[in-house]
Amino acid sequence: MKWIASSLFSQTHCILRSFRVGRLCTAKMASSSSPSGGNSVVPQKSLIAVCQMTATSDKEENLKTVLELIACGTRRGAKMIFLPEACDYIGESKQQSVDLAEPLNGNFVQQCQKAALEHSVWLSIGGFHQKAPASENQKLLNTHVLINDQGKVEATYDKTHLFDLDIAGKVRLCESDYVVRGGGIVPPVATPIGRVGLAICYDMRFPEMALALAQQGAHLITYPSAFTQPTGMAHWESILRARAIETQCYVVAAAQTGSHNAKRSSYGHAMVVDPWGAVVAQCSEGTGVCTAEVDLAYLNKLRGQMPVMQHRRTDLYGKVNALASSTGKISPDDEPIYPFGHVKVPSAQVFYRTPLSFAFVNIKPVLPGHTLVATLRPVVHLSELSPAELTDLFTTVQTVSEVVKKHFGASSMTVALQDGPEAGQTVRHIHVHILPRKKKDFEDNDDIYDKIQNHDKGWTAETRFRSEEEMAEESKQLRQYFCDS
């Protein structure tokens, strides 16, 4: 084994040293010392295994290698194993690539599902050659398949950015000649190690996609790859570190390495980059596995200390949106407690959340269905919000209002924001009141504003507060509009 020294990567100028992989199952784990703190429904620290291999056109031999890598990662305690792009095979011609493709329920994916179930481990099948629909004659899909520890396919993503290189008289390497371009970004998938954003290889050159995944709540972004030698030497590590730094996500990049056939070879250097931009694990030449620790407390602390997402000037250059993607589903239980000024709101009372806002039920509602929406970041005044927070807050208010109106059978809505104590704000945290309205719920419509201002004042021992059970039950009813379960 060879020692390698990494660069200075932390504010305390700590030096990270890591082993590089020589042979299968010989790699050492390399990780930075990470601060602890915070809680989540997933473990704060989880081990992942990132794989490197040299696929050929021999599907049977490739599958054997894949299963060995999965077994190796499992033995070392990984909760999730990441395999590279084209781990099923790399064809010697475009026609062979198309001919060897299988459906999603074909042998290759089925064998991987069995391995996931056998080892009780999640798998990222980084790039699988999937047969395209009959309408796409002589083409295939480059599909990233996520399999859970029960052997079920949790999500699939079809590569959206295709690598086309056509230099007249010199070289032509056009993925679009035989691959169908994917049509959308898949929202980050909740896994035991955090929310995983799916991408493939060439996608890494497009920061907009990474930002869209981060804004949808990703903790990790994956770039399983078969990077060419020249571009790998020039750009591989630089791009991966840039994507990690700008999104404050872990970046996980399994890789193909070495010579696949007489015409094609890959750069390798499978690696994991932490949210600070430090390479915390890396493979050297040859087939192998490296492991790294994903620390969500460390990630959340970095995001808190350097809240770049909240500092974005979307009023100047717009916001990156995943247009062909549904909103990323972030479980309200992703955090056990939500700070609301001096109040701590249990997650059971939160029925909807986004990357920047959350909605919760009221301990003393003025009307049935009186709910609240607040920013995740505690600020007192509207003027303190970044453009991104402001947009997210009112988009959340719009979304929640429609649901509350429907659920409580209202015909109208009152939406009120109190900015400062003179406006009736008793909790020093910017928030919006949402009240579903029905005919004659107040003798005079303006009475509602007096009720909002005074509904949580003058509490006594006789004051009728709703119990935690009552609030949790109402939250549960409202969650059904937003969550799968």
Catalytic residues: 85, 159, 201, 431
Give the contacts of 258 (CB within 8 A, at least 6 positions apart). 54, 265, 266, 268, 285, 286
Q: How many CA atoms lie within 13 A of 381 on its CB side?
A: 5
* Residue whose C-alpha is closest to residue 178's, from 89, 87, 101, 88: 101
Strand segments (E) across 132-249: 140-147, 153-158, 164-167, 171-174, 189-191, 194-198, 220-222
Within 13 Å of residue 101, how many CA atoms lie on the same side as its CB? Answer: 26
Q: Which residue shows structure tokens 């050297």? A: 284
Pair type for strands 343-346 and 337-340: antiparallel
Angstrom distances, CA of residue 228 to CA of 157, 207, 255: 22, 20, 10
Residue 11: count of CB within 10 angstroms of its CB: 8
Q: How far apart, in whole angstroms, are the C-alpha atoms of residue 233 and residue 436?
A: 59
Bridge-based pairing state of the strands 164-167 and 343-346: unpaired
Measured between alpha carbons, how far apart are the two ends of the chain, in Å?
48
In angstroms, the CA 191 to CA 355 distance is: 17
Question: From the CB of residue 461, how many other CB atoms can be counted at a distance below 10 Å?
Answer: 4
Q: What is the DSSP string of 421-464?
A: GGGT--SSS-EEEEEEE-TTSSSSTTHHHHHHHHTTSS--TT--
Are 356 and 377 in contact by the 8 Å Cβ rule? The answer is yes
Pairing of the two strands 431-437 and 140-147: unpaired
For tokens 């396919």, name the residue: 153
Contact 73, 49 (CB under 8 A): yes
Indicate the SS3 state at residue 276: coil
